[in-house]
Amino acid sequence: MCIYLLTCASYAADTEEMQTTFKTTYDIFKKYQKYPDALRVAQKMNNMTLIGELMEDCKDPVTLKQMAFMLGRQRNPYESEDGDLQGIISNEKLSEHFKSLARDLDVVEPKHPDSIFKSHLEDRRF
């Protein structure tokens, strides 16, 4: 339902109607603790108060990091009291985070398509 509302907001008759639609979807996402989705809507509204509320309400450290990366990607001026989150928001160690992700996904070294195909065939043997 929220995705439908966000899509319809683009066709709103005026800015006030669009903001009302955004606020409604924000409230729904926040109620069901879908903090990254609510943050996306708050960023569309460019409302720092709502962004601050979300960052304070969210207690899951992994979700907070995800939201910090979202804020950093949009170069949002939100200031966090947590040094790690503030480092993520300000994109201080972005390349280190990408390298860490590449190691976790095992995509640091390029792979030939044949080797990938062979490994899938070997996994299917009984």
User: What pLDDT, on the 0 to 100 scale, is given for residue 126?
Assistant: 46
Of 38 and 123, the structure prediction assigns the larger pLDDT to 38
Least Cα distance to 50 among 60, 38, 68 occurs for: 38
Least Cα distance to 89 among 105, 74, 109 occurs for: 74
CA distance 77 to 6: 24
User: How many Cβ atoms from other residues are within 10 Å of residue 37's Cβ?
Assistant: 18
Q: At residue 125, does pLDDT exceed 60?
A: no
Q: At residue 107, does pLDDT exceed 90?
A: no
pTM over 0.85: no
What mean pLDDT is reported for the chain?
Answer: 82
Q: Is the distance from CB of 35 to CB of 58 less than 8 angstroms? A: yes
Q: Is the distance from CB of 80 to CB of 55 less than 8 angstroms? A: yes
